[in-house]
Structure 1
Amino acid sequence: MKEHVEVTIYDIAEKLNLATSTISRALKDHHSISKKTIEKVKKTAKEMGYRPNNLAASLRSKKTKTIGVLLPTITQPFLSSLISGIEIASQKAGYNVIIMQSHDSYEEEVNLTQSLYNNRVSGVICSLAMQTQNTDHFQVFMDNNTPLVFVDRVPKHFSTFRVVIDNFAAGYKATNHLISQGCKRIAHLTVGSEFSIYHERKMGYLAALKDAGLTFEDELLVRLKEVTYEEAEKAANKLLDLKNPPDGVFTPGDILGVSVIQCAKKRGVKVPNALAVIGFNNDPISNIIDPNLSTITHPAEKMGKASAEIILKSLKSSKKDEVKEITFLNTEVLVRESSLR
């Protein structure tokens, strides 16, 4: 088998009897090179099978034209849509995207942060792991003027860009919708620390109850170990076993809402007549479950695009000490059969 020989700009220069500097500039459409020469160089390069050495170029410039994305997982529909938005904006600007998963582990997130730094990424987009409370490991990007954007799950005290929804307002809207349908005993499933988006959704839930004059009861607030179908099923059984069970449930994720509906159906509890349910995210599964799950829209793809656009804008800006912006995107209640009485 014949060994493939990599074509270089020196080979093109020799064939066209031009200086290597001319070839290099022509391939970059430099204004000092005539249009005719640029066309001739590019045509010859293509015929000879020339490929630009992006690695060598990145080592010279210390930039890789790569945006690092660090997420808890890529399996959730919300995060898949987020990635899609990041890739659309990045690829349009000629940037590649490298995706890493922390699997909600703080230790893994610390290791992957270092890996992204070592790979000389041009910018970083991160949604924090569930376990993360200390964010010191991200300081290395700030110290080296590498643009950093936190999206969805963001730290409270870290001066950098954020792209988020108003989770408090979203939790309030979801709970208020159940109240508008006549629910008086509304349960809520929560998870994570006081720094998490789930805590903010819980605070919205509590505020809506208070504003409606409904008494909050401890037994109606169930803390999950993690955001899983199984954990929500245990919580639903616990709630339905109460002497005075709830007539409404707000879950901060659609998979949790689906679990509550299926648990209720197994136990002969009619949804929404006896138990109204609303989820969060508008995942595809919310439209498949019977009855369809009411939910809160979560503009994942827009959040991804906004995050990438902030990185790209920051890379072009010469102001490194500019005020870091917070981008809020709106959410809406999407009413379906599971909560409509």
Structure 2
Amino acid sequence: MRKEQVTITDLARELNVSPSTISRALNNSPFISEERKKVILDLAKKMNYSPNQLALSLLNKRTKILGVVVPEITSYYFSTAINGIQDKVGSSGYKLMISQSNESFEEEIRLMEAMALVRVDGFLISPSSNTVNFDHFEKIKGSGFPLVIFDRDCLGFEADKVVVDDYSGAFQAVEYLIQTGCKRIAHITGSANLSTARHRKNGYLDALIKNNYPVLDELIVIGDDSSSESGVACMQKLLDLDQMPDAVFCYNDAIAIGAMSIIREKGVQIPEQISLVGFDDEPYSSYFKPSLTSVWQPIYDLGLLSAKILLDNLDFDKESAEFRFEVLKPELVIRESSRKIS
């Protein structure tokens, strides 16, 4: 049977004083003598008294809890972003309520509604790949909850946002492949619903156009998702072409690793016959043979800055219509899966 939590009233009854006296002592009031404070604090410790957090949150109009919704928790990318968030909010006395949408628009709505009901103080959201309608974000914002969108942009929805310059990262990667002498550069892209996929594809296209390379539809393959299995299926289509590509820029490292496995299975040499570049620079990328050239993203800083903006909004009760749009810069990390520049 669950033991009842000790209350201020229980302490007051034990010492034959008023509950208000107990409350003042617990809150270090100057109107209570040090001797009496010590007696009350010693008893509170002895009886395992702890403040009622729900009551305190109602009194202060703050729960000190922040809601975080991400597409998935287990991936290196989002777990690293969450680490950044946690490290920033922990020193401010906030706790996180973390949930994953599993790339489901409906689940994202349900999770945010549930978090709003328990009165989290604010939201940090990375939208699902199927989120193309932002009415639920507008509803949350209209209800007075501070909201920061991170990683994936929501075009047309006004809010504080923190993203990585996916376009720049993709442009760097493809221009590097051109500088190494590659002529038929393919791209395995992600869902068109994702701002990250759109920006990386645009970086790929503009790098080709800038260098007077033709844009060939047959060299652009759209994956069903962002998994290694999708990389295998998409790379198979590219290998089946009459003239296979001599380089492939992949939407992320998982797709690149899937592509690498089928390339090697077919006996094609990396990078002698096909150069391969990923995006994210996940830790395992450097341990494959050949090690994977990839675009590094400042993921931890992404989470850290997103949390800082949300905390700033809570501290200053933001009412301004001006929103921050922060863009972090990625860097190309060159390894063995791509040719050297001549």
Instruction: Give the shorter-chain TM-score range.
Output: over 0.9
Distance 1:216 1:61 in 2: 59
Cα distance, 1:33 vs. partner? Answer: 5.9
CA distance 1:12–1:249, change in 2 (3 Å): same
Q: CA deviation at 1:139?
A: 1.6
The residue that corresponds to 1:81 in the other structure is 80
Q: Cα–Cα, structure 1 residues 242 and 83, in superposed 2: closer, same or farther, change >3 Å?
A: same
Aligned counterpart, 2:6 = 7
Decide whether aligned partners of structure 1 residues 205 and 20 sit closer, same or farther in structure 2, where only a CA change above 3 A counts: same
Cα shift at 1:327: 1.5
Q: Is the 8 A contact 2:245 2:274 kept in 1?
A: yes
Measure, in 1, the Cα distance between the counterparts of 2:264 and 2:38: 68
Moved more, 31-40 or 48-57: 31-40
Q: Map residues 133-148 of structure 1 onto 2, 5 A cutoff.
A: 133-148=132-147
C-alpha offsets along residues 35-94 of structure 1, whole Å, 9 cap, x if unaligned? Answer: 766555444322220121112222444432111011111121101111111111122211
Q: Counterpart of 1:95?
A: 94
Asked whether 1:212 is paired with 2:223, we answer: no
Letter in 2 for 1:320: E
Distance in structure 1 (CA, Å) of the matches to 2:316 and 2:31: 25
The 3 A distance-change label for structure 1 pair 94 and 155 is same
Q: Which structure 2 residue ranges, 5 or more long, are not aligned? A: none
The equivalent of 2:336 in structure 1 is 337
- SS where residue 280 of structure 2 aligns? coil
Q: How does 1:27-176 map to 2 (within 5 A)?
A: 27-29=26-28, 41-176=40-175
Find the aligned partners of 1:34 and 1:282 in 2 and give their Cα distance: 60
- Equivalent position of 1:225 in the other structure: 224
* 1:261-286 CA-partner distances (Å, limit 9, x unpaired): 11111111111111111111111221
8 Å CA contact 2:131, 2:193 repeated in 1: no
Q: Distance in 2 between matches of 1:100 and 1:30?
A: 40
What is the deviation of 1:196? 2.0
Which residue type is aligned with residue 72 of structure 1? P
CA shift in 2, pair 1:135/1:58, >3 Å: same
Residue 56 of structure 1 aligns with an amino acid whose one-letter code is A
Describe the SS at the equivalent of 2:176.
helix
Q: Find the counterpart in structure 2 of residue 185 from structure 1.
A: 184
Report the AA paired with residue 147 of structure 1.
P
| 1:97 positional shift | 0.6
Cα offsets for 1:275-302 (capped at 9, x unmatched) = 1111111112212211111111111111
SS at match of 1:57: helix
The answer as to whether partners of 1:255 and 1:285 remain within 8 angstroms in 2 is: no
Q: CA deviation at 1:14?
A: 3.8
> What is the alpha-carbon distance in structure 1 between the residues aligned to residue 76 and residue 332 of structure 2?
18
TM-score by length of 1: 0.93
8 Å CA contact 2:182, 2:246 repeated in 1 = yes
- Is the counterpart of residue 307 in structure 1 residue 306 in structure 2? yes
> Take 2:232 and 2:131, find their aligned partners in 1: how far apart are those partners?
26
- Which residue is equivalent to 1:325? 324
Q: Percent identity?
A: 36
Going from structure 1 to structure 2, the CA distance change for 1:27 and 1:210 (only over 3 Å counts) comes to farther
Structure 1 residues 151 and 35 mapped into 2: Cα distance closer, same or farther (>3 Å)?
farther
Q: Secondary structure at the match of 1:277?
A: strand
The answer to whether the 8 Å contact 1:127/1:153 transfers is yes
Report the more deviating stretch, 314-323 or 73-82. Answer: 314-323
Query: SS of the counterpart of 1:306?
Result: helix
Distance 2:31 2:335 in 1: 62
Question: 2:252, 2:279 within 8 Å by CA — same for their partners in 1?
Answer: yes
One-letter amino acid matched to 1:91 = G
Contact 1:250 1:279 (8 Å CA) reproduced: yes
Q: Is the CA contact (8 Å cut-off) linking 1:224 and 1:232 kept in structure 2?
A: yes
For 1:78, what is the secondary structure of its paired residue? helix
| Residue deviations 1:160-209 (CA, integer Å, cap 9, x gap) | 11010111111111111211221111100112225521011000010111
For 1:222-254, what per-residue CA distance to the aligned partner results, in whole angstroms no more than 9, with x for missing partners?
Answer: 011111111110111111121111111111110
Q: State the AA in 1 paired with 2:170.
A: G
User: How many residues of Structure 1 are paired with residues of Structure 2 in the alignment?
Assistant: 340
| Alpha-carbon contact 1:254-1:285 (below 8 Å) kept | no
What runs of 5+ residues in structure 1 fail to find an aligned partner?
none
Could you tell me how far apart the structure 1 residues matched to 2:199 and 2:225 are? 16
Alpha-carbon distance in 2 for matches of 1:121, 1:197: 28
Do the aligned partners of 1:62 and 1:120 also contact (CA within 8 Å) in 2?
Answer: no
**Contact between 1:175 and 1:209, CA under 8 Å: does it hold in 2?**
yes
